[in-house]
Amino acid sequence: MSVLGEMFENFLSRPITILYPKEKVPIPAAFRGRVAIADDKCIGCSKCSLVCPAQVITMIDGPRDVEFKGKNLARKKRPQVKLFKCIRCGLCERHCPTGAIVLKNELSCSGTDGEIVLTE
Ligand code: SF4
Ligand code: SF4
């Protein structure tokens, strides 16, 4: 097709781009978005913190009684994540024994303050 022909075809066709964020794009099921923690599921085992390659998970004080595999445990610590330093590798989610830490299906998550933390 000639350049002129292509120009006319594009002129008469609808744009292939979308008006994000006005229009939402479909998000794949395996998409790794913003990390989130369900504190009520967390037993404070520190596995997420140990496997995090970016070292953005710190265990902070979070005492609470928890139940795991039929046993009552006294949790001492809970994770705190430096949100914008997370590289979304998903290792914390893969290794968490209770499913307390997950990567959400959320597209928008950006910022410039690397010290912003997620605690819950
Ligand atoms: S997704 Fe990866 S980088 Fe982000 S908090 Fe989890 S283990 Fe760390
Ligand atoms: S979020 Fe999961 S891996 Fe991390 S401390 Fe809690 S239970 Fe353990």
Whether the CB of 96 sits within 6 Å of ligand 2 = yes
- Cα–Cα distance, 6 to 97 (Å, whole number): 55
Residue 119 phi, psi dihedral angles, 5° rounding: -115, -15
Rg (CA), the chain: 21
Q: For position 10, what pLDDT does the model report? A: 87
Sites in the chain below the pLDDT cut of 50: none
Domain 27-118 fold: Alpha-Beta Plaits (3.30.70)
Q: What are phi and psi of 61, to 5 degrees?
A: -60, 135
Nearest CA to ligand 1 atom 4: 86
Q: How far is CA 28 from the centre of its chain?
A: 14
Integer Cα distance of 98 and 90 in angstroms: 15
Would you say the CB of residue 52 lies under 6 angstroms from ligand 1? yes
Q: Ligand 1: does its nearest atom lie under 6 Å from the Cβ of 54?
A: yes
The pLDDT score that the predictor gives to residue 120 is: 65
Question: Can you tell me which atom of ligand 2 is nearest the CA of 45?
Answer: 8
Report pLDDT for 101.
97
pLDDT of residue 75: 96
Q: Which two tokens stand for residue 41?
A: 């599921």
Ligand 1 near 88 CB (within 6 A): yes
Whether this prediction's pTM lies above 0.85 is answered by no
CA 113–ligand 2 middle distance (angstroms): 24
